[in-house]
Amino acid sequence: MFAKFKQYIKEVKAEFKHVNWLTKNESIKYTLMVIGVSLVMSIFLGLWDLIFTGLLSQFILKS
């Protein structure tokens, strides 16, 4: 049981050496891009929600 586990850990370590890791600058750049897109989308969706909520409330109040 432990022999299989040790072999698995060795294979995982070997595989980690083949991975192309991002540099620190790339990580920061991509993180900021994700945060920026998330903020833009949340503002966009929030505005659409506000508009449609206002329109629906006017239709409901008129009835």
Q: What's the confidence (pLDDT) of residue 14?
A: 93
pLDDT tens for each residue of 31-61? 999 999 999 999 999 999 999 999 999 888 7
The 3-class SS string of 36-51 reads HHHHHHHHHHHHHHHH
Residue type, 28: I
pTM of the model: 0.65
Domain boundaries, given as residue ranges, for the chain: 34-63
* C-alpha radius of gyration, the chain, whole number: 25
| Residue 14 main-chain phi, psi, to 5 deg | -65, -40
Q: How far apart are CA 63 and CA 46, in angstroms?
A: 26
* pLDDT band per the 50, 70, 90 thresholds, residue 63: low
Residues 22/30, Cβ–Cβ less than 8 Å:
yes
